[in-house]
Amino acid sequence: RAGSGSRRDQARQLITDLETRGSQALPLFISCLEDTGQDMLASFLRTNRQAVQLSKPTLENLTPVVLRPEIRKPEVLRPETPRPVDIGSGGFGDVDQKDHGFEVASTPPEDVSSGSNPEPDATPFQDDLRTFDQLDAVSSLPTPSDIFVSYSTFPGFVSLRDPKSGSWYVETLDDIFEQWAHSEDLQSLLLRVANAVSVKGIYKQMPGCFNFLRKKLFFKTS
């Protein structure tokens, strides 16, 4: 391996590379150099190998230290002891004196007569209103009422068609209506159609519908 720098640096780099390939790589390489008559280069590498080994820092015996969280005792906060107030020449105030506070007059205001009745500041709830319910909606049908929308497949998926008989959905719809329209409503008929189409052939298709009807819809077949 070619390198830059002096021969000593190149030898050190070569020794480092060989030592990464195993513990016996460098001794075998030096032995091959000696077998081929390159004794000077072999001696040079052996000398530099010893110098590299001596220059490696050696770790002293280290004792592992187990780090544990420091446990502190809870501090008890105590109120400071009240200090007496110095009132003069070395004497303190009388601790037996009582605080008389202040007096509150019980005289009523002049503009309010003593015999007047208090007036409520809110209207009491009337019990007779509980029997009446207030309407919270307009008494009319919503716009999308009495609408039934049917799809041959779920939006975003393909609808399959046979080259000879036509659409799977239309063909199955015609067969189901022919067999069951005289006794079942529209919702039940379309459930039969969805089940029949979903298991038809190796390719899968799933019809669906949006029902905004308020009652069952039957077809008059007779």
Domains of the chain: 7-55 (1.10.533.10), 148-211 (3.30.70.1470)
Joined together, the tokens standing for residue 202 give 């190796």
17 CB-near residues (< 8 Å, 6+ apart): 1
pLDDT band at 29 (very low <50, low <70, confident <90, very high): confident
Rg (CA), the chain: 52
Tell me: the pLDDT tens digits for 139-193?
666 677 888 899 999 888 889 998 998 999 999 999 999 999 999 999 999 999 9
Rounded to whole angstroms, the Cα distance separating 129 from 4 reads: 103
- For 1, the 3-state DSSP assignment is coil
Confidence (pLDDT) at 1: 45
Rounded to whole angstroms, the Cα distance separating 25 from 22 reads: 5
Tokens 């007059």, residue?
A: 105
Amino acid at 74: P
Tokens 């037996």, residue?
A: 96
